[in-house]
Amino acid sequence: MSNKPGFMFYHEDFKAICEVITDGSDFKKLVSMLMDYSENQTYTKSDNMAINAFFTMLKQKIDRDSIKYENTIEARREAGRLGGLAKQRNKNKMG
């Protein structure tokens, strides 16, 4: 995975998590696990089953969004390359 600047935390997920995880320290643990996974692709399992369940669900979304991000970066890179080649061709024709 690339050096993505972060990950998406969707409103619907936040609402569901807040319904189940009401303790602030448990919420912080979940967010820390998500940050660690997003940055380093590593994490430490929690003793709390609810945290692990939400992590597994959100991990899949992070992975899906990372693939989408990589595809977008590659498409933009290719478009920039093609635009640069066209610009160079036009410059050579004029010069």
Long-range contacts of 22-25 (CB under 8 A, 24+ apart): none
What pLDDT is stored for residue 5 in this prediction?
A: 84
Domain extent listing, the chain: 11-94
pTM: 0.73
CA 81 to each of CA 72, 76, 89, 92: distance values in angstroms, whole numbers, following the listed order? 14, 8, 12, 16
Can you tell me the distance from the alpha carbon of 37 to that of 79, in angstroms, rounded to the nearest whole number?
30
Q: Give me the mean pLDDT over the 59-64 stretch.
A: 94
Running DSSP on this structure, what letter comes out for residue 5? S
What pLDDT is stored for residue 81 in this prediction?
A: 82
| Residue 72 reports pLDDT greater than 60 | yes
| Residue 79 reports pLDDT greater than 90 | no
